[in-house]
Amino acid sequence: MDNRPIGFFDSGLGGLTCIAPLTRALPRERIIYFGDTARTPYGSKSPDTIRGFARQIADFLVQQDVKMIAIPCNTVSATCLADLQERFSDLPLVGIIHPAAETVAKTCTESNSIGVIGTKVTIRSRTYDEYIHRLAPSLSIHSAACPAFVPLIEEGIIENEIMDLTIRYYMDSFISYHKIDTLVLGCTHYPLILENLRHLYPKLRIINPSEEIVGCIKNRLDEQNLFAERETSAENIFYASDLSENFVNMINRIFKNTGFTVAFKNFDMEANKCG
């Protein structure tokens, strides 16, 4: 048993989409989250730059004495998961892509046409294709980068016509041409537009990796006997490299009426100090 917190990090607020399902499944666990809101989006940056950011943030979480690091960021998971696992070989480290790939492989057949949407870096890496085909080689997978989604979501532009038009710009022809019936949200920001997608494409089956990663975290905690022994009054701490109003509002919405104690801290990653 281990009452230390689980560390999470993401390029911004997108990784928060896995926090609500985690707290429902594992209510005793405490969280330290880092959102790199000052340097988001990662999806248009070079892999070397992303690797540098990821190492920096993982080092910071290790300094906070976390018992595990979970990476809900698809872009980081696609570009540098192996690098981080080698760097922190004594620490359980979970990425988001493999759990979702397992769900696709277990629940889809050759009759399905599977679409994966994500950032430019995630789609170019073809990591989803690789993981899924490793488990189910015969599945048909099609990918599309949707780079405008993340900045719009980070600005809170979700429940309006601008977002719906942007979704249709990327998705209409992609879904129609490939006859997509199953869609994987290959970016943790995208569950924040889940209702938009369901409204626009009601026949689609949507796989949300932000929920799939929770089962993987639970399994790793169980395997290494790391479950929290008891509920604690200690705070869940949410760091951001730019503590924006949208970031704070999103967390308050997630933890509303849950009884969890939440603290916000601004941390300047370049200066290596709290602001």
**What are the structure tokens assigned to 159, written together?**
């429940």
What is the spatial order of strands in the sheet that 205-207 belongs to? 140-145, 113-118, 182-186, 205-207
Active-site annotation holds for 146: no
User: Per-residue pLDDT for 63 more than 90?
Assistant: yes
User: pTM, whole model, 2 decimals?
Assistant: 0.89
Catalytic residue among 108, 146, 187, 216: 187
What is the rounded CA–CA span in Å between residue 206 and residue 60?
34
Q: Known catalytic residue: 18? A: no
pLDDT tens digits for range 110-133: 999 999 999 999 999 999 999 999
> How many beta carbons lie within 10 A of that of residue 169, not counting itself?
12
Q: Give the pLDDT mean for 159-188.
A: 96
222-251 pLDDT, tens digit each: 999 999 987 666 788 999 999 888 888 877
Active-site entry in 18, 73, 108, 216: 73
Give the pLDDT score at 255: 73
162 token code pair? 């601008």
Peptide bond into 21 cis (omega under 30): no
Return residue ranges of the chain for CATH 3.40.50.1860. 6-95+212-268, 97-209
| CATH architecture of the domain with residue range 97-209 | 3-Layer(aba) Sandwich (3.40)
Domain 6-95+212-268 of CATH type 2.30.30.60: no
- Mean pLDDT, rounded, of the chain: 92
DSSP state letters, 66-92: -SEEEE--HHHHHHHHHHHHHHTTTS-
DSSP 99-168: HHHHHHHHH--TT-EEEEEE-HHHHHHTHHHHHHHHH-TT-EEEEEE-TTHHHHHHTT--SSHHHHHHHH
Residues 167-172 have a mean pLDDT of 98
Are the C-beta atoms of 184 and 128 separated by less than 8 Å? yes
pLDDT digits (tens, 9 = 90+) for 66-90: 999 999 999 999 999 999 999 999 9
Q: Which residue has the higher pLDDT, 164 or 231?
A: 164
d(CA 237, CA 102): 30
